[in-house]
A and B are shown apart, each in its own frame.
Chain A
Amino acid sequence: MRAPTIQKRTEQRGGVGESVQRPDGVPKTKGEFAYSSDLWAENMLWGATTRSPHPRARIVSIDTREALATPRVRTVLTHEDVPGRKSYGMEVPDQPVLAWDDVRYQGEAVALVAADHPEAARRAAGRVKIEYEVLEPLVDPETALADGAPALHPSGNVIRHIRIRHGDQEASAEVVVKGDYQVGMQDQAFLGPESGLAIPDGEGGIDLYVSTQWLHIDLDQLAASLDLPPSKVRITLAGVGGAFGAREDLSIQIHCCLLALETGRPVKMMYGREESFFGHVHRHPARLHYEHGAMRDGRLVYVKARIVLDGGAYASSSTAVCANAACFSCGPYNVPNATIDAYAVYTDNPPCGAMRGFGAVQTCFAYESQMDRLAKALDIDPVELRRLNAMDTGATMITGQEVEGPAPVAELLKRVRNAPLPPDGDAMDIRTLPGGVSNTTHGEGVKRGVGYALGFKNIGYSEGFDDFSTARVRLSVVAGEPQVEVHSAASEVGQGVVTVQMQIARTELGVQQVVVLPADTSIGSSGSSSASRQTWMTGGAVKNACEAVRARLLQRAAQRLGKRHGKLTLDGANIVSAGSGSVASISDIVGDDPIEETKEYHHRKTFPLDPRTGQGNAHVAFAFAAHRAVVDVDLDLGLVRVVEMATAQDVGKALNPQAVEGQIEGGIAQGLGLALMEEIQISQGRILNPSFTDYLIPTILDMPPVRADVLELGDPHAPYGLKGVGEPPTISSTPAIVAALRDATGRPLTRVPVRPDDIVGLDGQSG
């Protein structure tokens, strides 16, 4: 008898698990990649927006005559020109497309102009005469929550209240620590400004090219406000210059289409940096009151928390942010008893919504600060206290949900604890010291601190939402070689989802040549590039579609070749059988009859939270990370230099390891920003710093080396076992840095971003 042929698997390049270069990389380095702000069309007009200078006012009258009389202006629009639904919103359509009676935040859109030069449009926008009755803005979320506060919306001022009652509500503890914490308003500060180009098709329909995170939710809102059937609104993703949550809500979309439909000409809109600060939602500022109770041996007994998130003028995604803040309010710890009240509240401040970490960021700063405070009260090492209480697989969340799949919290912590510490700063090179070349110290007054933090959050959409993605895969033969075409509506925002789709197709179909088509609304929804979900969901859809294509290919091969070969499988681009080895190539079987399949991927079902107790299996999966920060602090001046960030994160499976590292490093930079410098400063509802001169994001001088330890433990429910990677790096990096600052200074530091004043003790808190 002949020994069975041992099939050597064909070498597959560029598949899942490799650091594949991104297909859009070459045009991006050459300056040839078309971002939404780069678009241009023959005969194009420029749009501009007239915005309210007041955080709260009643509109008495709007007079567009002078604006319309401005040279080169083609049209001026107000709320009267919105043909369909006059308001929009992802969860609650409470935000006017153009304000008609009240304005509820500074920068709210009231009128639109199109002109044939952007400067003419801007000037005309300034000439729309709006008479306002100015009202006192309601800017304090606690005041807005209080009985008798004036209602900012017909539904009242509470956008959502999540109430969690878990375990024994009377539980008592041997050691109790309490704390009040604050998180400032962070901006996503993507670099590519909000922009897009709308082109009327001459038959009442419109094509929009825009940067966004979720094409189909834009489509729904556009169709409703333009009063067009969805088939008459076609949206194509233009190049996106970063997102981080800020492109979930609409910005220019409806406005640009209104102007284009009105003038019958292509219209481009593009915000400048200042307008961008008014043109998208921000991270919710938060006030958090916490009480932790523990036994003397360090075991947590209970957590009580009251969390108030300032949602600003409109709901945006506040309802979901609020749920996240509540669900993840106790951290990745075993907490048997919890009493949590989280509120998202309307005020006259700028609207807040999605930003990387989505509600889990604010609470992580508070609960990790509490863990350090508790460690101090118990005189236990803060790492040991965390290890003692760390969640593991099978743990019960405060929502009653069991944590399935890997939850390597103690392991992640151990890894960052055991990572070698960086060497001391070099007093001879001032560039390595706080203050750098400002030459503020040569090492005197500088102290080093080390801090730790753990964080976690959900992957994907929660609370019963049937989240899905759609992908179409087509296998054909081009010039004698097999080629795969992948189409989905997944937004490539920089994270690399185009690369991942390509890698999956290569792995599943063994074909080297893969083309990912531009994302648009001609295919079903892929959902949002948010909640760390897109690789999982669209990856899953592409995988499903590839599997369906493969099944048809093998079926066709079996029909052609007959039964003699037995069971056929695909190995690289060859069709093989156990007995005969390679029996045909993909090209032989496909010939000139391409195989095409469209499939959806749905994640497993989740359930709502019980409105009274906040209990329920609301989440699909959880992702965990640990951070260790090492900082040098100039104790006299309050200047800080972060020396190194060490992190460990379970990503399930790194589909593209280099891209995973990029997410980790970039996420940490945003966490560092929140810890030390990033805050939209608001006074009486007005933004004081809408520019990169005054709103600081980390530069290459601020960002330390990152030591990243990536675990791949594999989630049994996910394609390839992958978990989302985008958000965890941002969540616990902030509290780790603040813990390190406390270690160096001994100060309480209960607010982020930490200011130099807080470090030197001008904040009025005792050390």
Chain B
Amino acid sequence: MRIELEINGDTRSADDVWEGESLLFVLRERLGFPGSKNACEQGECGSCSIYLDGNLVCACLVLAGQAQGARVTTVEGLAEDLDLHPVQEAYLKAGAVQCGFCTPGLIMATHELLERKAQPSDAEIREALAGNLCRCTGYEKILDAVRLAAKARA
């Protein structure tokens, strides 16, 4: 099948998509957006988090066909021109990036949290990021990054 959708502001399409392909697969393998990661492909790790029509979702749990005509924002769409988005900047500064495989998903989830709640408490940060696994950092510096990003908005 053919799929057309809007990704980070541009219209994109893919041909010959097999019905069983996830949105994550199509983004990564067919449309050249490998920024969203694929650590589990079963909705457990959050590494594939994207916005789908404004909602934060796991792209691995969405069939590509379901995204027909949708508006998608991926981690590649956060930074404006050459500047990092403040959330990306905060992850970098706080040392919250090690292997970085969890980072795109966590940045999306942090972005979503701060849009909802500009100054979250630690407990609220933990709750909001509980669906994103990181195996490297022990999350301490991820908390720092979110606090830093929130401070930058204040």
Contacts and interface: CB of A to CB of B under 8 A. Distances in A.
Interface in B33-83: 33-42, 44-45, 47, 74-76, 78-79
Nearest to A670: B135
A29 B139 contact: no
A72 B127 CA distance: 45
A239 B99 CA distance: 8
Given A33-B100, A190-B99, A40 B29 contact: yes
A661 B95 contact: yes
A69 to B, nearest CB: 19
Contacts of A32: 35, 76
Contacts of B38: 37, 193, 270
A691 B99 contact: no
A432 B137 CA distance: 21
Size bracket, chain A contacts: 35 or more
A627 to B, nearest CB: 13
Given A191-B133, A494-B136, A662-B141, A30 B79 contact: yes
Interface of A: 19, 21-22, 24-26, 28-35, 37-38, 40, 117, 119, 188-193, 239-244, 270, 272-273, 429, 431-432, 437, 493-496, 658-659, 661-662, 664-670, 691-693, 697-701, 703, 705-706
A42 to B, nearest CB: 13
18 contacts: A21-B95, A29-B89, A30-B75, A37-B34, A191-B101, A191-B102, A191-B134, A239-B100, A240-B99, A242-B136, A273-B44, A431-B123, A664-B138, A665-B138, A692-B45, A693-B44, A700-B129, A700-B132
Given A658-B95, A692-B40, A31 B74 contact: yes
Please provide the 8 A-B residue pairs with the shortest distance between their CB atoms, ordered closest to farther.
Answer: A31-B35, A494-B99, A28-B100, A665-B138, A241-B101, A692-B44, A669-B138, A31-B75
Nearest to B44: A692
Nearest to A665: B138
Contacts of B34: 31, 34-35, 37-38, 40
Contact of A699 (B20, B98, B130): B130
Contacts of B33: 31
A584 B36 CA distance: 49
B74 to A, nearest CB: 7
A693 B42 CA distance: 8
B118 interface: no
Most chain A CB neighbours (cut-off 10 Å) among B29, B33, B132: B29
B140 interface: yes
Given A191-B47, A701-B126, 18 more contacts: A29-B97, A29-B100, A29-B107, A30-B75, A31-B35, A31-B74, A34-B34, A37-B34, A37-B38, A188-B135, A191-B99, A666-B98, A668-B138, A692-B45, A693-B44, A700-B139, A701-B130, A703-B138
B46 to A, nearest CB: 10
A31 B103 CA distance: 8
Given A29-B103, A30-B75, A693-B44, A661 B141 contact: yes
B41 A662 contact: no
A192 B101 contact: yes
A29 B99 contact: no
Interface string B109-145: 0000000000000010111011111111111111100
Nearest to A189: B135
Nearest to A708: B140
B4 to A, nearest CB: 21
Contacts of B136: 242, 494, 662, 666
B138 A692 contact: no
Contacts of B78: 30
B98 A496 contact: yes
B88 A29 contact: yes
B127 A665 contact: no
Nearest to A30: B79
Contacts of B95: 19, 21, 658-659, 661-662
Contacts of A244: 135
A767 B40 CA distance: 40
B40 A691 contact: yes
Contacts of A193: 38-39
Given A494-B100, A662-B98, A21 B93 contact: yes
Contacts of A33: 100
B28 A38 contact: yes
Contacts of B127: 431, 437, 701
A273 B139 contact: no
A35 B101 contact: yes
Nearest to A673: B135
A19 B139 CA distance: 18
Contacts of B92: 21, 25-26, 29
Nearest to A660: B95
Contact of A667 (B44, B47, B138): B138
Contacts of B42: 273, 691-693
A662 B29 contact: no
Contact of B41 (A190, A242, A272, A664): A272
